[in-house]
């Protein structure tokens, strides 16, 4: 029994470190902010999807969800459903992709479009359109958030 009394504080300390570690990872998620420009929103999401499992499994999906427009969340959420969609056949190649290039599409206003070219981990290049919109009112007032991502289409071979 004396050994158990000695181990309890160690176990409690380890459990505390694990909890701090998990909350630190959640704190690492970038949150929408009016200072983040439209192209940065797409870049944050694409980089997160490129390194989806860093620092923990599906961190990139959670980061991408953070920038989903409230209307988009209503259609694709909650997060577990959104994760399932991203892991499915249509969007699964976005996870852990090799590289990407974001090209602004000329336009102005409260909706901005980007052409995204992405090289998959297998060397295929896919193209899709990514749209962000300025949120009006609510929790994310004046923040740019993703409203739509087209189905990826083949665009050639990568490097």
For the chain, domain boundaries: 37-157
pLDDT value for 4? 45
Q: Is the model's pLDDT at 101 over the cut of 70?
A: yes
State the pTM of this model.
Answer: 0.82
For the domain made up of 37-157, the CATH class stated in words is alpha beta
pLDDT in tens, 54-99: 999 999 999 999 999 999 999 999 999 999 999 999 999 999 999 9
CA distance 21 to 15: 10
Kind plus residue range of the DSSP H or E element containing 12? helix 2-27
Residue pair 115/103 in contact (Cβ under 8 Å)? The answer is yes
CA distance 50 to 3: 47
């Amino acid at each position: 029994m004396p050994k158990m009394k000695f181990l309890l504080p160690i176990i409690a300390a380890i459990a505390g470190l694990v909890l701090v570690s998990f909350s630190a990872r959640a704190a690492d998620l970038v949150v929408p902010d009016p200072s983040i420009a439209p192209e940065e929103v797409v870049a944050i999401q694409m980089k997160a999807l490129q390194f989806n499992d860093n620092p923990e499994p599906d961190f990139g999906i959670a980061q991408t969800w953070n920038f989903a427009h409230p209307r988009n969340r209503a259609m694709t959420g909650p997060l577990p459903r959104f994760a399932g969609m991203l892991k499915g056949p249509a969007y699964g190649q976005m996870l852990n992709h090799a590289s990407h290039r974001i090209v602004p599409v000329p336009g102005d206003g409260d909706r901005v479009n980007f052409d995204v070219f992405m090289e998959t981990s297998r060397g295929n290049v896919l193209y899709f359109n990514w749209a962000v919109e300025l949120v009006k009112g609510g929790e994310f007032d004046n923040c740019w958030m993703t409203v739509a991502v087209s189905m990826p289409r083949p665009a050639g071979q990568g490097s």
